[in-house]
Amino acid sequence: MKQQVVIIGAGLGGLFTGAILAKEGYQVTVLEKNATIGGGLQTFTRWGQRFDTGMHVIGGMQPGGNIRRICNYLGILDEVQLRDVDEHCSDALYFAEDDAHYTIARGREGFVRSLAAVFPHEREGLRRYVDAIYTITDHVDQFNLRPSHGQMSLLGQSNDFLMPADEFIAQHVGDRRLRSVLAYMNPLYGGQAHCTPAYIHAIISVLYIDGTSRFVDGSSHFADSLAGVITRHDGVVLPGDGVEWIEVNNRHIDHVRTRSGRCYSADHYICAMHPCSMLRLMDAKALPKAYRDRLNSIPNAYSAFSLYIKFKPNSFAYINHSEYYMTRYDDIWNFADTAKQWPLGFLFMTPPDAEQGEYASKALVTAPMTFDHVKPWENTTVEHRGEDYRRWKDECAARLLAMIERLHPGIRDCIEQMLTASPLTIRDFYAVKGGSLSGYVKDCHNMALSQVPVVTKIDNLLLTGQNNNLHGFCGVPLTAILTCEALLGNNYVINKINACDQR
């Protein structure tokens, strides 16, 4: 008989894990609290437009990319609907401090060439920097889908690997402004000065330099493709009935109970939600106190405030790259600093439609924000936060729009409708502690605390998702492989993926 697996949470991690295990012969049941599956892949429809909630820009899908290879192994590569960003301008940066614009081109040579045009005195430093980040990623077996010894080893790596990312950049580049420009993707991975390890910065940077893409007509299609792998192999994905209790006895799960009162039993259970949210679903004695305390004590990355904008027809030109607005160069590392005046910067993009023409139909604006900003309403629920909360959101939106006007004068006249979301939205929608975008903080000075193994103190419970290894569209699938190989055997999935590449 097939081994049975219950997966708690149908986000990117739960769906990738479920798809792999279903393909390899497990009977998979995925339970999701929201009415729609996908986690960060979820979309919502408003005013006739489909808006992404999380996965806006993705890497690893270029030819030879690691996520592309995983999709090929799962048999869904042809289903993925993507649009590559512009080759000569994959990202555009603006720093208000000196009214400076920077253009980032795709590819190693393009990256160096585009920045050396502005910083000619740092051309050799840029080459050293790019060579160094590629060297770091070349040594990460998991990132390259090479056979390894399991959970990503931080032992035996070079000094660069665990160096604080800001110091790593500084050892190659002397120009203060260029150092900050090279760190412009900090909002995507919760980068913090003197804390974030260089390998996190290197992996994200290499993914973006190699080339990024966007989902066409929203990211939920990708979630549906992963769910399709599960159902085609006789599994089930059940949205709208989340797990509300995990029954644990003698360090062993007997069953889980959902909101509707249904109980599900299996040989193995995999939690794809934030570990701190998981702890609330089981008795305090289910896990050792030291383990619980450790999970609760790990700091979480900052959250975000978002604008969802619908444009008037034929009013705002479509932009086939992302735009990053930064206030001051030094603050590129300070998004987690609660003493700083918000916002310090934001990401602006116009997602593509299937028949994308000259004009954009919508825009997404994501501005990093700490959870402290919404503390006054932390005990409220959706649609019951009060008039003062609505006024506060309106004020935040007005601040962002004033800054966007510096990039795109007259944009207010192009807006037909606008919706806002705060860290509370992220917290409640994704069941993530503090509304964190990137999960647990990776601290180069305490990596033992930052690394949460997929194996737990409960004998039939595994973890998956962005809190266990790497985060984001690339990191979560790689973590899913680790989780699956805890059941299938070390390098089992990696070898299958590599075998598919050779066909």
**What is the rounded distance in angstroms from the CA atom of residue 379 to the CA atom of residue 46?**
27
User: Structural domain of residue 10, as residue ranges?
Assistant: 4-44+216-298+447-501
Would you tell me how many other CB atoms lie within 10 Å of the CB of residue 12? 31
Over the stretch 416-431, which tens digit does the pLDDT of each residue have? Answer: 999 999 999 999 988 8
DSSP states of 148-181: -SSS---TT--TTTTSBHHHHHHTT---HHHHHH
**Cis bond leading into 376, ω under 30°?**
no
pLDDT at 155 over 60: no
Of residues 452 and 55, the one with the higher pLDDT is: 452
pLDDT of residue 153: 57
> What percentage of the chain reaches a pLDDT higher than 90?
87
> What percentage of the chain reaches a pLDDT higher than 70?
98
**What is the rounded distance in angstroms from the CA atom of residue 150 to the CA atom of residue 482?**
7
**What is the rounded distance in angstroms from the CA atom of residue 104 to the CA atom of residue 427?**
33
Closest CA to 325 of 246, 257, 405: 405
pLDDT of residue 451: 81
Residue 56 lies in a domain: no
> Which residue, 385, 417, 437, sits at the end of a domain?
437
Distant-in-sequence, close-in-space partners of 385: CB < 8 Å, separation ≥ 6: 377, 424
Does residue 243 share a domain with residue 191?
no
SS (H, E, C) 429-478: HHCCHHHCCCCECCCCCCHHHHCCCCECCCCCEEECCCCCCCCHHHHHHH
**Rg of the chain in Å (alpha carbons):** 22
Residue 69 lies in a domain: no
Q: How does residue 157 score in pLDDT terms, banded at 50, 70 and 90?
A: low
**What is the rounded distance in angstroms from the CA atom of residue 345 to the CA atom of residue 416?**
24
Rounded to the nearest 5°, which phi and psi values hold at 292? -65, -45
Under a CB-based contact definition with an 8 Å cutoff, are residues 150 and 490 in contact? yes
Domain containing residue 252: CATH number:
3.50.50.60
SS3 state at 308: strand
Under a CB-based contact definition with an 8 Å cutoff, are residues 20 and 484 in contact? yes
Does residue 182 share a domain with residue 148?
yes
Over the stretch 194-251, which tens digit does the pLDDT of each residue have? Answer: 999 999 999 999 999 999 999 999 999 999 999 999 999 999 999 999 999 999 999 9
pLDDT of residue 72: 97
User: What is the rounded average pLDDT for all residues in the chain?
Assistant: 94
Residue 259 lies in a domain: yes
Residue 54 lies in a domain: no
pTM (predicted TM-score): 0.95
Distant-in-sequence, close-in-space partners of 213: CB < 8 Å, separation ≥ 6: 57, 58, 59, 61, 62, 82, 83, 84, 85
pLDDT of residue 19: 98
pLDDT at 156 over 80: no
**Average confidence (pLDDT) over 382-392:** 94
> Which residue, 149, 180, 211, sits at the end of a domain?
211
SS3 state at 92: strand
Residue 57 lies in a domain: no
Over the stretch 97-153, which tens digit does the pLDDT of each residue have? Answer: 999 999 999 999 999 999 999 999 999 999 999 999 999 999 999 999 999 876 555
Q: What would the two tokens of residue 416 be? A: 């037909």
> Which residue, 388, 409, 437, sits at the end of a domain?
437
Rounded to the nearest 5°, which phi and psi values hold at 257? -120, 135
pLDDT of residue 473: 87
Does residue 201 share a domain with residue 98?
yes
pLDDT at 490 over 60: yes
Residue 71 lies in a domain: no
Q: How does residue 168 score in pLDDT terms, banded at 50, 70 and 90?
A: very high
Does residue 457 share a domain with residue 420?
no
* Ranges of H-type helices in 368-446: 387-407, 423-430
Single-letter residue type at 183: A
Tell me the CA distances in angstroms from 35 to 9, 222, 240, 296, one per residue in order: 12, 16, 4, 28
Rounded to the nearest 5°, which phi and psi values hold at 246? -115, 115
Residue 488 lies in a domain: yes
pLDDT of residue 152: 58
Domain count, the chain: 3
**Average confidence (pLDDT) over 388-409:** 97
Does residue 454 share a domain with residue 430?
no
Distant-in-sequence, close-in-space partners of 334: CB < 8 Å, separation ≥ 6: 193, 340, 344
Residue 239 lies in a domain: yes
